[in-house]
Chain A
């Protein structure tokens, strides 16, 4: 038997016991089996893709989907199409920018939309301020490149104001 992902012989047969229609067997070569097993967690792209497929079947028409695919985050530039294909988001703002589009997906994966766990003691609480941080850092780097050091140090102050100083323990 050949590996599902390449032409090498399949020497590993991994059974996924979480599929709703009963166990699903993957036939893989050693290299691909390693990839699958050593991630040690559900392959995110396939679970995102699955959840997205369900969501898109129900909701959007072709035209709506085409529009959604072109939607582009103003901070990192990721499009919904790129996210749909990679399963990975581009920046913290995406959770706000694509919020309406991500909600059905999050419900599908987690059955919940509300974090109830641990919270950091110190956080840039809004996605906007996190987006600001990314923008300001880029501007600051550009200012340094142009040798506009005064501008750069102003920007640094703004960044520090949002970010706050790291707590120092022991060594002040």
Chain B
């Protein structure tokens, strides 16, 4: 593995999962699977001494280096990163907020295409994560299963004949599997059906989280659906529950809501979407929250064919690239909140206006 703490390569790219392609990508942003694993010979993180943490980190890194094809995987020592760099990796969803904020020896190996990452010393010794664009749980599972097998060839996992993979928190024990699908549901939000839809699914063992802005005025309209239980079901059953039972039903509701909106008030909707694009492309300063709110409308407009010269991939990238740490990395220095608001507005303008702006590629 390459020793790589210069994240500048990642800054300019954007991960595979942001391509805006894959099944149902008008509604499903990404499919993410993570596995929690622990080594048999060490206590869980809470009871690890600083020396234990270092040994785990070193042992896992050395063992990963033995894997074929892993010599080109950038390996990032999180403890030595600046605050902005850690935040950057969190915004990019390559590491968790928890591992960014914790203390002591910790690291992450990042696949250059950003389809997978392996965190060392998070809440568990190992957190393997795979992320694909669109609704793509089956191939995401096949990939993470292979990675898990390869790592298991190198280290001895803490495993219990009855309870399965042992994890620091009993909410993860068994499969250690969390399947999460990120959905963009502006239609259900505008038609005020979102709570009804999720309430109708309450019996099903899934967790839904949404992000609302102030007074529901600023909203990114993103919702994440994940499995709640990890013990007593096979991985396949959990994948099917989220990917074949729950998510397709929500997608169906969202499509119906969008059709309804188009039939009902084509002009209103078109006006709303165009104004959103107008604000994003002309504002001189803009907060991250407001940006989310308008980008969400523009994204729906693109999907409904109301805006035809902006690419879905561009919108997806803008959601990430206008976050605080990304702006600072792209700008090359630390910025205050108000400087960021100015920089964000100018970044949006550059990518949404002008002859090259509405092209598919960001630079």
Q: State the CA gap A150–B97 with chains docked (Å).
A: 44
Query: Is A18 interfacial (CB-CB < 8 Å)?
Result: yes
Which one of B96, B206, B212 lies within 8 Å of A14 (CB-CB)?
B212
Interface set of B (CB-CB < 8 Å, partner A): 32, 38, 40-47, 63, 66-68, 90, 96-98, 123, 145, 148-150, 152-166, 168-175, 177-178, 180, 195, 198-199, 202, 206-214, 216, 224, 226, 228-235, 289
Interface set of A (CB-CB < 8 Å, partner B): 11-18, 20, 22-23, 33-42, 44-45, 47-48, 75-78, 86-92, 95-96, 102, 105-106, 109-127, 129-130, 133-134, 137, 159, 163-164, 166-171
User: What distance in Å separates the Cβ of B235 from its nearest Cβ neighbour in chain A?
Assistant: 5
Taking a contact as CB atoms under 8 Å apart, the answer to whether A118 and B145 are in contact is: yes
User: What distance in Å separates the Cβ of B159 from its nearest Cβ neighbour in chain A?
Assistant: 4
Minimum CB distance partner of A115 in chain B? B164
Q: Which residues of B contact A89 (CB under 8 A)?
A: 44, 46, 168-170
Q: State the CA gap A134–B38 with chains docked (Å).
A: 13
User: What distance in Å separates the Cβ of A91 from its nearest Cβ neighbour in chain B?
Assistant: 4
Minimum CB distance partner of B161 in chain A? A125
User: What distance in Å separates the Cβ of A111 from its nearest Cβ neighbour in chain B?
Assistant: 7
Q: Which residues of B contact A170 (CB under 8 A)?
A: 68
Which one of B41, B209, B289 lies within 8 Å of A163 (CB-CB)?
B41
Q: Would you give 26 A-B contacts (Cβ < 8 Å), ordered by A?
A: A15-B212, A17-B202, A23-B199, A33-B211, A41-B178, A77-B47, A78-B47, A88-B45, A88-B46, A88-B123, A88-B169, A89-B46, A92-B160, A95-B163, A110-B230, A110-B231, A112-B229, A113-B162, A117-B235, A118-B234, A120-B159, A121-B149, A126-B161, A133-B41, A133-B156, A166-B66
User: What distance in Å separates the Cβ of B298 from its nearest Cβ neighbour in chain A?
Assistant: 21
Which one of B173, B232, B234 lies within 8 Å of A95 (CB-CB)?
B173
User: What distance in Å separates the Cβ of A11 from its nearest Cβ neighbour in chain B?
Assistant: 6
Taking a contact as CB atoms under 8 Å apart, the answer to whether B175 and A115 are in contact is: yes
Q: Provided the pairs A42-B207, A111-B229 are in contact, do residues A166 and B43 lie with their beta carbons within 8 angstroms?
A: no
Taking a contact as CB atoms under 8 Å apart, the answer to whether A41 and B226 are in contact is: yes
Minimum CB distance partner of B101 in chain A? A35
Minimum CB distance partner of B45 in chain A? A88
Taking a contact as CB atoms under 8 Å apart, the answer to whether A14 and B162 are in contact is: no
